[in-house]
Amino acid sequence: MSFPGLPPIQPPNLNWDFPDARRSELSNGLRVVVLPSRRLPMVRVRLVIPGGRCREAQGAKPGVAGLTMRCARYGTRHHSASELAHTLDSLGTQLSCGATLDGLSFSVQCLSEHLAQSLDLLSEVVLFPVFSESEVEREKGKIIASKHQAAASPSGTSGLWMGQLLFGNHPYGHPTASPEEMAALVADDLRSFHAQVVRPAEAVLVVVGDVSEHEVVELIEARLGDWSGAAPSVQPPVWIDSEVDDSFLVLDRPGSTQTHVLLGLRGLKRSHPDHLKLSCLNHIFGGGASGRLFKDLRENRSLTYGCSSSLDSGVFGGDLVASLSCSSENTTAALAALMDQTHRICREPVEASELEACVRYKVGAWPKSGSTLGGLAGLLMLREIHNLPDDTWSRYPEMLRRLGVSDLTAGAQRHLDFSRKAVVLVGDARALAPALEDLGTLRILPVEQRPSREPASSD
Amino acid sequence: MSRESVDQHRLKNGLKLVVRQEKALPLVGVALYYEVGARDEVEGKTGFAHLFEHLMFEGSAHVEKGAHFSLIAGLGGQINANTTHERTLYYASLPANQIDVVLWMEADRMRSLKVTEESFEHQRKTVLEERKQRVDNVPYGLAREKFSEMCFQGSPYSHPVIGYEADIVSASFRDVQSFHSSWYRPERATLSIAGDVDPEVVLRRAEEWFGDIPSGVFPGESRHHDPAPPKAQKAIVADPLARLSKVMISHPAPSYGQADFYAFEMAETILLRGPSSRAWRRLVLDEQLAVGLAGGFTARRCASRFVLSATVERPEHMDRVVEVWQREIDLLVSDGVSDSEWNKALNQIRASHIYSQQGILAQAISQGRYSLMLDDPCWDRDYLSALENLKVKEVLEVLRRYLDAGKRMEMHAVARGGVS
């Protein structure tokens, strides 16, 4: 057989359905979702309590959500921090805790033979953390050190500034705690935040892996059934429909050989019906090596090693942010190209062939979501936390195939406003300023300067 | 899932084919290894193997420049590549029914390469940007580079995979075709596939599309030798980009295929894995000398290392970090390990081993690596039992030979404003 001159592409053959998961509710209001998957003798468990760092805008101290979650695993009523660490490692169980803007998250990965013991330890960490002063002080020190390091990194404080430029006074625009705010937290702050917020009423627990539904619900009921109460509801923050500052913010990092560039637009909340349209627009715009940004800025112009965008959608809103790093001398050309591509994706219809390729990618890649327990647990949690329809994932390929170019155009017009873009650059201001000034007004600040936290918005 | 159900074949032209059928999902992972990397470069031409990896996306007889990404993405897949000192890897994951597209694309660029001077210049610029992004503009980038030079002095492992800037700038277009015809030959390639495919069909396709690619004339034996460990050294460099200082410690370690390998798997877990490990307890939790730890056992074909990297707030703590680390090693070697700690380490490794079996591409990459390095794609089938059969006394004897302070290398990267 001679070597083919064209790629031997086969017709698409999507031979995978999102597996069925079962939902139940414990008497205390905790929602439990179980998806058995027996390929490997392991289990993933995720527990999410709605309302994360957003709650800090409702009277809690800055930084308390993140520090509470970080310290939760450092000692419980029944185990010291070192005993807990030793027991977890002895089982080969991985337990992590964290806070995002919208939720507090506890996560466990364990062998199925150790599920009961791992759930024992998870429930201890959820229900009975002690927040000893010494552990809290040590973790504060580590966080403060990492904040200083991050502020001096090539991306500096650009992420914090982007949040504030896009969301202003909204809690999504609030910077994470400053080193000084972190230093001011004490163990009692964590105890009181935990007592108030870590409650089951609106929480969701997802279990995926080598389990039977009936048995695992019994195990959870036995450990978390007596947990009670409801956290104060998270008040939907008030959007201030203010103008985005249209100057370019330059965070000066003297001697930097490269510039880190962020360009952001407000997006939409995850539960919005237009989310899938923006997800496709984002893929066409900056989705990896086949996105417009990569093709234009790297493959056509050699301005950067990589350029991509991400769509981040939370409970109350979201953003679309493109990023790249490039030499100081390439910065003006790269920013001009980035703005041009952003303008196009906001204002011009995409090509039909681009949408076709995007849908082929997303539909073809869909079974990959089921290749890890973490991936499956993440999708189930997303559906529960954002109250998406039950058939969201079973209909996902069909929903994609139904999209037309006009749907994406309408989505862009409705949600992506180029005139309200925010631009942040981290680099050597002295090298950048003369050429950048041709593109717009500059506001120059030291790289380590953080945005200030405005008072919470109110009606 | 049977780890024994892996088929390994060698085509007449020397290409090695490894196939494992795994039907859980309609996906396939493909990993194509070429046995060439930074260790095959000579002074003044560092970074060429990595630059060449970029050139492999510039087009071949039937594939246009840059079309690899869009072709595979349009099928629901992903494709990329990376280079180390010892090999260059091209990998993809995609729906299983489209596996022919990857095989066709890889066969096309193994038989032909269509690089122009213009596309060469384009990738040179991209790689220079990559170097800035990964090395020159980030904390510890240059310190890490100097540390490798120290640890592997006189060996081809001493220079960075990405190459020195001057060498990238002076890389010659004239070397491109000879590099391809010398190193990108079927007898230097291992094609590893895992997923929902029929091994017999894959073998037939490989024979059709790769089978007539001629073997090359290999330019000479790779310098496959372990560099003699240099005498203990300590270096201090200022890092103007960092706000926290970092101390890096490196010890010689055994390589893949050596009997001592398993002892280091246990040592890594006991000393460094998880918050209950000895180094975490002493350095981060008890004495609070470090705010973060990284490192571990990095096994290669040769020039393997056992490394600790500790981030410290106060540069004056760096010597103390080294002292405590070495004390923990010495205590381990002299006092041994309790049954409880030994079993904890075994359970950690066993669990991690199972967790790592998720993902079809990861499986293709692993079995290909074992095939390339050890000529046994199922090398890890006995991994856990080999660890379980270890005798503590023998492990300690191995560690004593490698980890004494006389062979320890240190790099202190002092953050701006700090003194050591």
Condensed to tens digits (0 to 9), the pLDDT of residues A68-92 reads 999 999 999 999 999 999 999 999 9
Burial of B169 (0-12, 13-18, 19+ CB in 10 A): exposed
Arithmetic mean of pLDDT, A368-373: 92
Confidence of residue B224 (pLDDT cuts 50, 70, 90): low
Report how many Cβ contacts below 8 Å link chain A to chain B: 208
Q: What span, in angstroms and rounded, lies between the C-alpha atoms of B250 and B305?
A: 6
| DSSP state for residue B263 in the 8-state scheme | H
**Inter-chain touch B74–A93, beta carbons under 8 Å:** no
Q: Do A40 and B357 touch (CB under 8 A)?
A: yes
**CA–CA min distance B223, chain A (Å):** 31
To the nearest whole Å, the CA of B92 is away from the closest chain A CA by: 12
Q: Where are the alpha helices (DSSP H) in B356-391?
A: 360-374, 383-388
| Chain A contact present for B80, CB below 8 A | yes
Closest residue of A to B119, CA-based? A299
What does the CA dihedral B335, B336, B338, B342 come to, rounded to 10 degrees? 160
A311 phi/psi in degrees, rounded to 5: -105, 120
Q: What CA dihedral angle connects B145, B150, B151 and B157, to 10 degrees?
A: 60
Is the predicted pLDDT of residue A146 greater than 60, yes or no?
yes
Is B356 an 8 Å CB contact of chain A?
no
**Mean pLDDT computed over every residue of chain A:** 93
Percentage of the residues of chain A whose pLDDT score is greater than 90: 86
Of B101, B132, B354, the CB nearest to A40: B354
Given a cut of 60, whether residue B223 has pLDDT beyond it is no
Residue A233, pLDDT > 90, answer no
Helix axes A405-415, A275-286, angle to 10 degrees: 100
Confidence of residue A361 (pLDDT cuts 50, 70, 90): very high
Q: What percent of chain A has pLDDT over 70?
A: 97
Q: Does B27 touch chain A (CB under 8 A)?
A: yes
Interface ipTM: 0.92
Distance CA A414, CA A267 (A): 10
Closest residue to B130, CB basis, from A5, A305, A360: A305
Summarize pLDDT for A255-277 with one digit per residue, the tens. 999 999 999 999 999 999 999 99
Is residue B338 within 8 angstroms of chain A, CB to CB? no
CB contact under 8 A, B130 and A370: no
Residue B163 burial (C-beta neighbours within 10 Å; 0-12, 13-18, 19+)? buried
Mutate one of A16, A302, A355, A372 to test the B interface: name it (highest B CB count within 10 A): A302
Q: Are B81 and A350 in contact (CB under 8 A)?
A: no
The pLDDT value recorded for residue A15 is: 77
- Predicted structure pTM score: 0.94
Quick check: A42 and B355 in contact, CB under 8 A? yes
∠ CA B271-B248-B149, rounded to 5°: 130
- What band does A239 get if pLDDT is binned at 50, 70 and 90? low
> What is the rounded distance in angstroms from the CA atom of residue A346 to the CA atom of residue A285?
10
Percent of chain B with pLDDT over 70: 96
Which one of B122, B240, B243 has the shortest CB-CB distance to A302? B122
Taking an 8 Å cut-off on Cβ atoms, the answer to whether B71 and A7 are in contact is: yes
**Cβ–Cβ gap B104/A373 under 8 Å:** no
In chain B, which residues have their Cβ closer than 8 Å to the Cβ of A142?
291-292
Cβ-Cβ contacts under 8 Å, A151 against chain B:
243
What does the pLDDT read at residue A459? 33
- Interface contact A86-B276, CB threshold 8 A: yes
